[in-house]
Homo-oligomer: A and B are copies of this chain.
């Protein structure tokens, strides 16, 4: 039965494998809600509404109570009660399910995973609303990145897992000459063996996009998965777990291969479960403190962590000053800088920015950037569609603190609309510093808090950006320069620090949105991540290969 699931999705899956190899653009998941037809957005909202003020159904083992206290950053309480389960029961359930899942082999496992993904596609609209009303993402971003691209990332992980597992034949006749004696003939078999129970700790701002590679890579390589969402952002992953369990059951597998672990407090359950000896793989996305704690303490597991970062922009010169400003302002406003690879520090030298219309001083550049942001924020409705909401009240508090830390180039202000009167929505805060003020600007201040940092020269801008990302982490570097020499210096710096490089981006291409099937996210070289998503090492450490041999008959 599940073999037919692999066959059912084979045509698409082959394209996914080809995309990962060629790294060209490709996707089977529409990013435009319009693709789902008229009324789909409203139907999706109704489906989301149906979860509110109710118990979330999940038939998991070891239920000890109910938990969940989500409130939408847009101002509405969700009041969903999720089953709270004994972690040991979930671990045991996963372990019991593992043997037959392992024996099913790569094709059957990937067939089931593909079915989960395409079943989730049918839930795209409700999932987008669920993401919006937990993370605060604007609806269009939630749909594009947290639904369509998250599913792309899951499919990408399946394609990568396939490639890794299929590198080795399942059986071979090994025949070695042995001098004058008959050759030594061995019948060898190779087996893909899963590492053990996987724990995926969800992010509060990117619950699906960040978790899907881990969830699907774990399942494809034979490992059970315990999904532990952030305690304020449960619903999106709960829907995913429910769909996954249903598909597993229908396919004749044990649904306990995927389970949901909820708690009421930040980190409590995650810290306990992550130290259990049976937990052999941990994937974490979130702030650095917890990531470092996991790396330090969960020594029985392979830990993949993506943590805080200070992504940098170096502005030197441009052919398109307005395009530069608009692209930068867009990537600063989009979801209020709560995207991992969003820019944080913008370095510009006292020599100013060379443009076709002459040199703009660093002061002028700061004013122009503030003004460009201002334009995007003029209409509250449109502003909120770009900004979304601040996921956490802590972020609002950080904005207030940061205001005191530097010279304010553009102040943050609250945004409200008729539709969402009580939304936690605030425009970007733009601050100014000089390069020596490292202890002020080179700090993690997650949210819409940005610094224009003035240096003496572009070379100093690059050096200061390198220092900041080396010490505090970095995922992406943008360089705006018409000089091949500066671009080359940027390239070398990006290689040293282990960040992606974005040269002279204008228009809709944002440094903050890595493309599935094509871009690598994170490198493991600087503190922003201890691994790269989704390279070979990200997959290959989730399973091992053993061979068995006997004399060939």
A residues lining the B interface (CB < 8 Å): 21-25, 32, 99, 102, 163-164, 167-169, 172-176, 178-179, 181, 184, 186, 188, 190-191, 193, 195, 295, 299, 491-492, 494-495, 498-509, 515, 518-520, 523-525, 532, 535-537, 539-541, 544-551
Contact = CB atoms under 8 A, between A and B. Distances in A.
B24 A172 contact: yes
Given A509-B186, A537-B536, A540-B535, A546 B179 contact: no
Contact of A549 (B498, B503, B537, B540): B503
11 contacts: A22-B169, A102-B495, A188-B518, A195-B525, A498-B544, A500-B549, A504-B550, A507-B551, A509-B549, A519-B547, A520-B545
Contact of A547 (B500, B505, B524): B500
A132 to B, nearest CB: 21
A307 B548 CA distance: 21
A495 B193 contact: yes
Contacts of A501: 546-549
Given A195-B525, A505-B551, A506-B551, A175 B24 contact: yes
Residue of A190, A295, A495, A502 ringed by the most chain B CB atoms within 10 A: A495
B532 A502 contact: no
A507 B299 CA distance: 41
A184 B505 CA distance: 11
Contacts of A550: 502-505
Contacts of A172: 22-24, 518
Nearest to A295: B299
Given A23-B174, A536-B167, A491 B544 contact: no
A455 to B, nearest CB: 22
Number of chain copies forming the complex: 2
A549 B164 contact: no
Nearest to A514: B547
Given A24-B175, A191-B495, A509-B186, A545 B535 contact: yes
A499 B168 CA distance: 17
A232 B491 CA distance: 44
Contact of A193 (B498, B549, B551): B498
Given A532-B544, A535-B540, 14 more contacts: A22-B169, A24-B173, A184-B507, A191-B491, A195-B524, A502-B550, A503-B549, A519-B549, A520-B545, A520-B547, A523-B545, A524-B541, A524-B544, A535-B544
Contacts of A186: 509
A188 B176 CA distance: 45
A508 B549 contact: no
Contacts of A193: 495, 498, 523, 525
A527 to B, nearest CB: 11
A480 to B, nearest CB: 11
Nearest to A177: B25
5 cross-chain pairs, A with B, having the tightest CB-CB distances, nearest first: A501-B548, A536-B540, A537-B540, A503-B550, A523-B544
A545 B518 contact: no
A145 to B, nearest CB: 14
B537 A541 contact: yes
Nearest to A176: B25
A508 B547 contact: no
